[in-house]
Amino acid sequence: MAAIDRVVASHIDGARSWLDVGTGDGLRAASIVDSLHRPPRSITLCDSSLGMVKTARQHLPSRRVVRWTLEEDPPFVANESFQFITLLGNVLGHIHPQTARLNQLTILHQLMDDDGILLLDFNNRWNVRAYGTWNAGINILRDLVHQPRATFTVTKSINGELISTPVYIGSVKEYRTLLNISEFNIDRIIYFNYASGKSEWVLTGQGFIEASKKEGS
């Protein structure tokens, strides 16, 4: 299991409830659940794609898997909230523009227990190892002169057809701002090399954030 998933598992082991947003095919969530000694009493997985939801249901047949796009009203019973909420695999990278990401975090704030924890990982555009010294250097310089470049085009070959999609690649500075405006405190930020699982630092790893609600928010 990836080092970052072990960190997630250490949080949610024995938890009251866990909501995984953007669960995709559910394989990652299934592997995290399998590693737990005491799975959370309530586990909810959601994704905006119906295809992903169907696949995730096959991988986690005994769990609640729902189709939900963060832009819509939550499909949960009134007042249902969660102790842990995760966004894994750069989920916010699929949401554009910045104001939409802010709205999503605000919705998640409302869905989180007062003593809850938000766990999210993000692709870090200052990461020299992932994007090269030149590109990461330009990204850092642009951030310094307040002309950030945050949305990139990723092209993938799917069934022989080249498909291009915009992806938001964040920075710790932007996540600090987003989480602060949406009333979260950042408790910890760590950096990882996802491939090796090694601990890294801000210029050499992808980011992982643990955040809680601001007092009284």
Ligand X SMILES: C[S@@+](CC[C@H](N)C(=O)[O-])C[C@H]1O[C@@H](n2cnc3c(N)ncnc32)[C@H](O)[C@@H]1O
> Which residues contribute to the site for ligand X (CB under 6 A)?
21-24, 28, 47-49, 52, 69-70, 88-91, 94-95
Closer CB to ligand X, residue 119 or residue 128?
A: 119
Taking the complex as a whole, the smallest distance from the CB of residue 71 to ligand X amounts, in Å, to: 6
Residue 200 bridge partners (DSSP): 191
Taking the complex as a whole, the smallest distance from the CB of residue 141 to ligand X amounts, in Å, to: 28
| Six-digit token string for 178 | 């987003």
Spatial CB neighbours of 148, under 8 Å, sequence gap ≥ 6:
139, 142, 171, 174
Amino acid at 159: N
Q: CA–CA distance from 73 to each of 38, 49, 159, 205, 214 (Å)? A: 30, 16, 34, 34, 23
Taking the complex as a whole, the smallest distance from the CB of residue 90 to ligand X amounts, in Å, to: 6
Nearest residue to ligand X on Cβ basis: 89
Closer CB to ligand X, residue 23 or residue 182?
A: 23
Taking the complex as a whole, the smallest distance from the CB of residue 162 to ligand X amounts, in Å, to: 19
Taking the complex as a whole, the smallest distance from the CB of residue 151 to ligand X amounts, in Å, to: 14
Q: CA–CA distance from 208 to each of 7, 16, 90 (Å)? A: 10, 22, 10
- What is the rounded distance in angstroms from the CA atom of residue 152 to the CA atom of residue 93? 10
Taking the complex as a whole, the smallest distance from the CB of residue 23 to ligand X amounts, in Å, to: 5
Which parts of the chain are beta strand (E)? 17-21, 42-47, 64-67, 82-87, 112-122, 151-158, 161-168, 184-192, 199-200, 206-213
SS3 216: coil
Closer CB to ligand X, residue 19 or residue 70?
A: 70
Cβ density class 77-100: b for 16+ within 10 Å, e for less:
eeeebbbbbbbbbbbbbebeebee
